């Protein structure tokens, strides 16, 4: 192996600083296309985005709907549930980003990328761009199934669009968390296991599935600061009416804070990971 080959990875960071915005965007586009071709070659990787929204909405509506709203009034619970599921599925898809990054490292794909004269962040951003597309598909399926079952929007289409955008923005911020996990842990199974330990308390200790007023005091206090509660309440009020300012601003604040903390850590970890 030549000296030039051995020195290539070390030289890459120096070249990265000279990459302009246009070239960076071109790299992101090329890498995003590569990720989409991977999905095309492995359609089963779309099952979580296509099938899970249908399973969740049917399962929770007809298992919990009668208990929450009374037998025969499942549609009332459906209107409460769907905005919450919009918040939940962002976390589920974000988890897949972490396992995907970890798997790419095990296959050696990421090592190849790091020897190329491209911005390190472009590799990770391309992942997020494609996963946002999967999240939009999952949201469209969720809403389509919801409307088929009787979901009604009492505001305007613009309010519905705002709820979707807010859910996607928060989900994108969570992707940085799971990318960092994928870069830090040794196996995809470890990423998935740790992710579930995080997901379960956040999802069920929130207002996604049930109003928090009837929860024990200590749990109600937790849900008040749970970002998923803020996101679910914001989406719910945008779609059904109600005060939205506090929930929207809290959700955006969480999304910005999570991104500012975890994105630099993830890019740094990507540069240093061996």
Would 11 be classed as within a structural domain? no
Would 1 be classed as within a structural domain? no
Would 15 be classed as within a structural domain? no
Would 9 be classed as within a structural domain? no
User: What distance lies between CA 23 and its chain's CA centroid?
Assistant: 26
Number of separate domains in the chain: 1
Averaged over successive runs of 10 residues, the pLDDT of the chain (274 residues) comes to: 40 50 80 84 82 90 76 81 89 84 78 73 88 93 93 92 94 92 88 86 87 81 88 93 91 95 90 73
What's the pLDDT at 198?
Answer: 84
Distance CA 95, CA 231 (A): 18
Would 249 be classed as within a structural domain? yes
Would 254 be classed as within a structural domain? yes
Going by the DSSP 8-state scheme, the letter that residue 44 receives in this structure is: G
61-69, long-range: CB < 8 A, 24+ apart: 61/149, 64/209, 64/210, 68/210
CB 93 within 8 A of CB 131: yes
What's the pLDDT at 85?
Answer: 92
Would 2 be classed as within a structural domain? no
């Amino acid at each position: 192996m030549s000296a030039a080959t051995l020195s290539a990875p070390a030289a890459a960071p120096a070249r990265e600083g000279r990459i302009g915005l246009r070239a960076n965007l071109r790299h992101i586009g090329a890498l995003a296309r590569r990720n989409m071709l991977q999905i095309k070659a492995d359609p089963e990787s779309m099952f979580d985005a296509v099938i899970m929204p249908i399973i969740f909405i049917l399962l929770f509506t007809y298992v919990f709907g009668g208990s929450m709203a009374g037998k025969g009034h499942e549609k009332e619970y459906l209107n409460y549930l769907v905005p919450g599921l919009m918040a939940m599925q962002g976390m589920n898809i974000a988890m897949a980003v972490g396992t995907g990054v970890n798997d790419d490292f095990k296959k050696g794909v990421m090592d190849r990328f790091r020897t190329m004269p491209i911005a390190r962040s472009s590799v990770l951003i391309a992942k997020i761009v494609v996963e946002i597309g999967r999240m939009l598909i999952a949201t469209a399926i969720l809403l389509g199934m919801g409307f088929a079952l009787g979901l009604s929007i009492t505001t305007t289409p613009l309010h519905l669009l705002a709820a979707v955008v807010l859910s996607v923005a928060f989900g994108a911020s969570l992707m940085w968390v799971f990318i960092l996990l994928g870069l830090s842990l040794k196996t995809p199974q470890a990423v998935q296991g740790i992710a579930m330990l995080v997901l379960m308390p956040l999802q069920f200790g929130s207002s996604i599935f049930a109003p928090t007023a009837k929860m024990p005091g200590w749990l109600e206090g937790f849900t008040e600061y749970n970002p998923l509660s803020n996101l679910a309440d914001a989406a719910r009020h945008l779609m059904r009416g109600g005060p939205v300012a506090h929930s929207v601003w809290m959700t955006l604040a969480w999304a910005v804070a999570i991104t500012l903390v975890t994105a630099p850590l993830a890019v740094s970890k990507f540069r240093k990971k061996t």
